[in-house]
Structure 1
Amino acid sequence: MVIPAEEPFYDSASDSRTDCASARILIVDDDAPLRRALPHLLARDGRSFDECANVAETIARLHDTQYDLILLDYRLPDGTGLAVLDWLASRRRSEAVIMISGEDAIDAAIGALRRGADDFVRKPYHVAQLQRAVQGALHKTALERANRAMSSRLHASERLHRYLVESSPDLIFTLDTAGRFSYLNPRVEDLLGFERDQLIGRPFLSLVMPEDAERIEHLLESEQTAAGAAFSVELRLRRPRQAGAGYVTVALQGTPMLAGIADRRTCGLYGVARDISERKRAEEIITFQAYHDQLTQLPNRVLFKDRLELAIVQAQRQRGTLAVMFIDVDRFKLVNDSYGHAEGDALLRGIADRLSAALRRGDTLARLGGDEFTVLLPDIGHARDAETTARKILEALDTPFTLGHGEFRATASVGVALYPRDGGTAEALTQHADIAMYQVKRSGKNGFRFFDPELNHHHHDRITLENDLRTAVDQSQLQLYFQPQVSLSQQRVVGTEALLRWNRPAHGFVAPDLFIPLAEELGLIGEISRWVLNAACGQLAQWRRAGFADLKMSLNLSTHDFEREDIVSAVIECLQRHDIPPNRLDLEITESMMMQDTTLVAHKVRQLRDAGLGIAIDDFGTGYSALAYLQKIPVSTLKIDRSFVRDLDGPVTNPIISAITGIARGFGLQLIAEGIERPAQAETLRALGCDVMQGFYYSRPTPPNETVAWMTRPPAGLLN
């Protein structure tokens, strides 16, 4: 309807802000840089900004100032943003509120929306997303402000009343005593897509979706409604097929209309329906995000556990069997490290698609995080059904994945646990499947294995071993033993190799080939290597002070040590601290380590050699034995591995040893033979040109207090 200009329907002086061009905005966040940045990101002509850092300061500011919009962080130093929403609600304040939060819990978002927040933005967010939310909230505030201004003057005239009702952003209607529409405002056309004339006289229930019809019918016919009691309910109203979406979700407030002041009989119903579709969609999105992985859209850990627990209950009732699989992608870290996380994410999505295609419709595939997936196979008849699925999963990965940098052939390690044989709870089944998967990893990867109780025993032993190893350094359980390196030509000890030992309480000595790989896997090798370096240099310094100034010390470094940026400076600093000349220390590295990253290793080896240290290649000949790296990397010593020495007997020559001695002569390198156990081996090696040797024939590794004995007199093998 048209309003004559000379008859204003409200006093503009009381509230003139009916658009979102000018607005006063309060930013509430404990992140000071963010508070300063948002005004620049949201700046528009006519907008002004204030800021607060906590709940108390915000409420104090709101006592004195009215705002159009509050950007409210959920987590604040002295409480949550919900306290501010409660304060606003208790005082019937009209500020629009956008809650901003990094909370993963679904309750945070739904709680904020139900307490009156106009929107909920999850961190991290795009600037455009926040700008749209602010613009929408201000626009909505402007409309609601105009609506409130109109409502406050409703009593002025029926003309104003008609305007307000027909201009309301909400659907306003009345029903007669038979539940048929007697009045509808124009909002019905935009909201539901019906012309008003189409609905007048039609039953209200004809617009209600079947799933909600019984509930609303009960409310309309209840004794409380008949007695004049108002009600509130959420329901879905139909839209005609040509109008687009099939229904609209509304919050309906119904108030029975009374025949008169004295006459308490109802003569119809007055209803206001507000469109809450966006809020419901937001709640659905938040709910989905709470129970699904954002990268692959698969169920997450929480939803998988819920489904597994339900499947266990059903299996108990039916005396059935189910299987749980734990899947870990092999070598996934290689993709992230080599090609970047974007390529890694693309690979995970591709793997998720292939795994899904290998499963039945009723199975559940979930991503726990990283490169770990779990599978629930309900209602299986036999263990071989799970085996069939495991083989399908491995076969699904046979075809290479095409990434931006080329093809990548992915494999997976799969562990399987069966209910009820391997556990009766979700936690037990998942844990046992994980243990079985880990055993596949240790056995070479790219396969599957069923859980065995014996694996659980080994797993518990390993956990105990890991825990004990973490405290080994702090509790002085690590020890260095020393084995002499003797020169046949000089008939004396010229060096010693420091060998790490772990004296585990209540268990005795643990073999290095057991705990060193474990330390590397746990990330403890750096701490252990620093201890070894310091202890070896400290012992060498003590022997030098005792008169053994020309003794050399050699010790092993892990591959992970060369990944440290400070390895060179750490070694040099340790030598300086113990006043040891650099040429008295040899560092032993493996062949395979040199082949992994020749450029990186060569640079650090060159720095160590320039500083005066010796570099020995341990177990030479057992790995790659590529001569090219001997030209690139300035090593000083080759050590012949004991596996070649073991087969020497008398004058018989091992052709590999002959080749190694020739390489050493050709490159001008010192040669040391390990594993000498018989005099014939020593004689053969002497004939081949090897002078320095070590092994049980001369001495077993001994603790420091026994080492002085063979340092002061030639070992027994030299006396023969």
Structure 2
Amino acid sequence: MTTDIDVTNAKIHRLSRLYLTLSRCNHAVLESTSESDLLASACRIAVEAGELDMAWVAMIEPEAGTIRVAESFGRGVEYLEGVQISLEVENPHGRGPTGTALREGHAVWCDDFMHDPRTAQWHALGERFGWSASAALPLTSQGRIVGALNFYLTQNNAFDEVARELLGEIAAVISHGLGRFALQAARQEAEDRLRESEDRYRSIVEHSRDAILLTAPDGRILSANPAACRIFDCTVIELQRLGRNGVVDTADPRVAAALEERRRTGSFSGELTMLRHDGEPFPALLSTSIFTAHNGELLTSMLIRDVSERKRKEAQLAYFAQHDALTDLPNRLLLTDRLDMAIAHAKRSGASLALMFLDLDRFKQVNDLFGHELGDRVLRQSAQRLKACVRASDTLSRQGGDEFLIVLPEITSPEAAMTVAEKLLDALGTPLSLGDRDVVLSGSIGIACYPEDGSDANTLMRNADAAMYVAKDLGRNRYQFYSPDMNARTLERLTLEGDLRRAIDGNQLFLAYQPQIDLTHRRLTGLEALARWQHPTLGLIPPDQFIPMAENSGLIEPIGAWVLETACRQQAAWIAEGLIEGTVSVNVSLHQFRQPNFIEVVAKALSKSGLAACHLELEVTESVVMHDLDRVMETLDTLRSLGIKLSIDDFGTGYSSLSHLKQFPIYRLKIDKSFTQGLPHDRESAAIASAIISLGKNLGLEVLAEGIETTEQEQYLHSLACDAGQGYLFARPMPAPACVDFLRSFSTANHPPS
């Protein structure tokens, strides 16, 4: 496969040969004794020095108006025996490169001989000789077009801009040589052009960004251009002291092959290690050729390009292609390669290995709470801690997001993987210090072992992933070894997630409503709307199963919007029927609350349903409102300005700051059911419930207790001056039809049915 280096090498070599061709043609103009001698030399030099396949000269016979082959040289000159060329544009044989160049007086370049319509008349003949590219350059004498210099090659696209310029220079030199034989006065002009050409050549050499050295057979450096002094970091005199052997790293194993190729063919092009003046090695592309000077001395030209920077960038790109930009850990590509190598080694040696799939628990909440910048810092610090827990021979890789893979080659037993897993969990469990706050993480780890759990990388990854999800399902912050039944559980989880995506449009979601009761007057104050999923085949799916799934999959936003619109529409209808006068409460997740369009979603739900804002209560948890306080306060103030009531749900389970709590525009605290369940006998629960109620009263807030199941709990909370409650004692969450019956019954009896 041809690489960029191969293409660059070929280009440098081709230009070097064309420079040599130009130089030799210059000398041929001065040394030739006749027109035919000059043209024959030009064709021979183009093939031998320029490495073109065939060259020939077409000359115009003025009296007959025909074209003759004056001179030719190279492989395939037999092609000219059958070729027909005309000067007339009307003649198809006059529309090719040679006829056009002779007629119009400009160079004609054909980079794809066999597909160029201009060469259609010669395709069949050209195919026999393998022509892929050709060029025709007009030759002039005394201002008249007298012929054309033609080149043929067996490779496409051989004429780039520099090559065209050099071939044009060659044609110009030959043209002036022809003029020399037409008129003696043209000799002086040819010499002037020669000097100009050499000046231009010298200018190219002087301004080249590549080093150009001319060396003698004994290795002496005869001349060096400024770029050589810059690349080798020394003066010309210092370069000459070094000599050819002093600038080439003879320890490079490629040198021997390069010398052999140059001895055999007279030239070499390729990559070698060169040495700067102070001995520092650097990679270079070298093109060198042996040629005979006009005095008969054998000289060697060396064209040297420093590719250190390109090599550095290539190495950098290769590194970036295999490493994660955030953590600098190997990415999935490099991990897979190392895992394949570890498996191959294990197969040969009979050893075992383990693959761990680690997922940071609830990292999405960290991102939502603190923002992506702090989330990235968490990932970087977590990666550093994990890296400190594994051996140098192990591979820790970030797969993206909060997922990491760890390859443990050559383990003695599964217990060894268990030991590493415990170290990883311990490392994650230590709080991360991030400026003015600490973040505590945990991880879920799935472990698959070779060869028991898979004999290839894909199988091991899939099974470690399945084991990781089981670890999450079992409560997180643990590791789990793979077992064959886990794939079924993984498939079930993925299937359920797919079903959830279709649940909204499939009318499988519905709302259940739980009444909220004034504990003093036994009066209905409102309803809490709770999402439920009636799966067509699995039945009722618990909220604690599908709500986290919705949050992890990004479905919580459309589900949340549906809950909000449905609850508002139903509440508006019941108020219109006179069944209720209070509020409907809707839970808002962290992800919903932080959506940029959250206010618009709420306003849209109210507008579409016709529900007055004072009849809507939004419940948020402490974790939602205790971070990014400026933004939270702005959102809460906007909601309150619309007339919406706000409450803190599950109060007491988070880490609220009282100084911030009193600033929030909320009207109610909801005591979490975990505290209510222990009442009245559990002293800690009683103390917490009493403290929350007292706090609420002091802040001028209402307090509602969740999870009331017994009369004893109700009476105790009422004795503490708790305002309201909800729970199974009053009613379980009910679908809308059952809730209608409840509302009518409650309205009649003014108390819940027993």
For Structure 1 versus Structure 2, the TM-score category normalised by the shorter chain is 0.5 to 0.7
Asked whether 1:249 is paired with 2:281, we answer no
Cα distance change, pair 638–364 in 1 and its aligned pair in 2 (3 A): closer
1:212 aligns with 2:254: yes
* Aligned ranges 1:587-602 → 2 under 5 Å: 587-596=618-627, 600-602=631-633
Amino acid in the other structure paired with 2:739: T
Q: Give the letter for the 1:532 counterpart.
A: V
Q: Give the TM-score taking structure 2 as reference length.
A: 0.61
User: In the alignment, does 2:572 pair up with 1:541?
Assistant: yes
SS of the equivalent of 1:421 reads coil
After superposition, the Cα gap between the structure-2 partners of 1:276 and 1:533, relative to the gap in structure 1 and judged at 3 Å, is same
Q: What is the alpha-carbon distance in structure 2 between the residues aligned to residue 296 and residue 488 of structure 1?
A: 55
1:191–1:248: 8 Å Cα contact kept in structure 2? no
Query: In the TM superposition, what is the alpha-carbon distance from 1:117 to its structure 2 partner?
Result: 14
1:531 CA drift (Å): 0.8
Counterpart-to-counterpart distance in 2, 1:383 and 1:534: 52
Asked whether the equivalents of residues 172 and 185 of structure 1 are also in contact (C-alpha less than 8 Å), the reply is: yes
Distance in 2 between residues matched to 1:602 and 1:374, nearest whole Å: 40
Equivalent-residue separation in structure 2 for 1:719 and 1:361 (angstroms): 69
- Alpha-carbon shift at residue 532 of structure 1 (Å): 0.9
Which position in structure 2 is the counterpart of 1:633?
A: 664
Q: Deviations over 1:271-328 (max 9, x none)?
A: 6544252555554444444334456655433233223222222222222222334455
Q: TM-score, normalised by structure 1?
A: 0.63
Q: Give the conservation status (yes or no) of the 8 Å contact 1:321–1:419.
A: yes
148 and 215 in structure 1: CA distance in 2 versus 1, 3 angstrom threshold? farther
Q: 2:744 matched to 1:708?
A: no
In structure 1, how many angstroms separate the alpha carbons of the residues matched to 2:579 and 2:607?
Answer: 18
Q: Cα–Cα, structure 1 residues 462 and 236, in superposed 2: closer, same or farther, change >3 Å?
A: same
Cα distance between partner residues in 1 of 2:366 and 2:725? 43
Does residue 555 of structure 1 match 2:590? Answer: no
1:535 deviation in Å?
0.5
Once the two structures are superposed, what CA deviation does each residue of 1:508-531 show, in whole Å capped at 9, x if it has no partner? 111112222222233322222211
Q: Kindly tell me: are residues 432 and 597 of structure 1, through their superposed partners in 2, closer, same or farther at Cα, counting changes over 3 Å?
A: same
Do the aligned partners of 2:444 and 2:476 also contact (CA within 8 Å) in 1? Answer: yes
CA drift at 1:501: 0.4
Corresponding letter in the other structure for 2:454: G
Residue-pair matches, total: 573
Q: 1:678 to 1:305 in 2, by over 3 A?
A: closer
- Asked whether the 8 Å contact 1:494–1:551 carries over to 2, the reply is yes
Q: Which residue identity lines up with residue 575 of structure 2 in the other structure?
A: R
The residue aligned with 1:277 is: 307
Q: Using the alignment, how far apart are the partners of 2:595 and 2:649 within structure 1?
A: 20
Q: Which residue of 2 aligns with 1:27?
A: none
Q: Aligned in 2, Cα 1:436/1:596: closer, same or farther, shift over 3 Å?
A: farther
Describe the superposition over 1:591-644 as per-residue Cα deviations: whole angstroms up to 9, x where unpaired. 444444665545544443444333344344455576655533343334444444
Q: Which amino acid aligns with 1:557?
A: V
Given that 1:208 and 1:236 are in contact with CA atoms closer than 8 Å, whether structure 2 keeps it comes out as no
Counterpart CA distance in 2 for 1:692 and 1:632 is 23
Aligned residue type for 1:555: V
Of 518-527 and 292-301, more deviation after overlay is shown by 292-301
Q: 1:406 to 1:246 in 2, by over 3 A?
A: farther
Q: Separation in 2 of the partners of 1:529 and 1:295?
A: 32
Asked if residue 497 in structure 1 is aligned to residue 528 in structure 2, the reply is: yes
| Structure 1 residue 685, shift from structure 2 partner | 4.8
| 1:233 matches 2:263 | no
Residues 1:158 and 1:402: Cα distance change in structure 2 (over 3 Å): farther
Deviations 1:221-276, CA, capped at 9 Å, x for gaps = 76xx4xxxx76531315437x533225522435578899xxxxxxx9896654425
2:334 matched residue in structure 1: 303
* Structure 1 portions without partners, runs of 5+: 1-8, 11-65, 67-88, 93-114, 119-140, 260-266
Instruction: Provide the alpha-carbon RMSD of the alignment.
Output: 5.3
Superposition map of 1:469-484 within 5 A: 469-484=500-515
Q: In structure 2, which of residues 604, 608, 617 is the aligned counterpart of residue 577 of structure 1? A: 608
Deviation at 1:213, TM superposition (A): 3.7
Give 1:697 shift.
3.6
> Which residue in the other structure is 2:103 paired with?
none
Note closer, same or farther for the CA distance 1:545–1:305 as it changes in structure 2 (3 Å cut): same
Alpha-carbon distance in structure 1 between the residues aligned to 2:437 and 2:158: 51
Q: Equivalences for 1:60-459 in 2 at 5 Å? A: 164=202, 171=212, 185-186=223-224, 195=239, 208-216=250-258, 219-220=261-262, 225=265, 233-236=269-272, 238-239=274-275, 242-252=277-287, 254=289, 272-275=302-305, 277-278=307-308, 279-294=310-325, 298-327=329-358, 359-369=390-400, 372-390=403-421, 415-436=446-467, 450-453=481-484, 455-459=486-490
612 and 215 in structure 1: CA distance in 2 versus 1, 3 angstrom threshold: same
Q: Quick one: distance in 1 between partners of 2:385 and 2:474? A: 24
Give SS of 1:471's match: helix
Matched residue SS, 1:632: coil
CA spacing shift, 1:280–1:594, aligned 2, 3 Å: closer
2:151 corresponding residue in structure 1: none
Match of 1:608 in 2: 639
Gaps of 5+ in 2: 1-24, 27-106, 108-131, 136-156, 178-190
Match of 1:132 in 2: none
1:273/1:402 CA distance change after superposition, 3 Å: farther
* Residues in 2 aligned to 1:152 and 1:237: alpha-carbon distance in whole angstroms: 38
Q: Do the aligned partners of residues 313 and 233 (structure 1) sit closer, same or farther apart at CA in structure 2, a change above 3 Å counting? A: farther
SS in 2 for 1:548: coil
Judge conservation of contact 1:492–1:718 (CA < 8 Å) in 2.
no
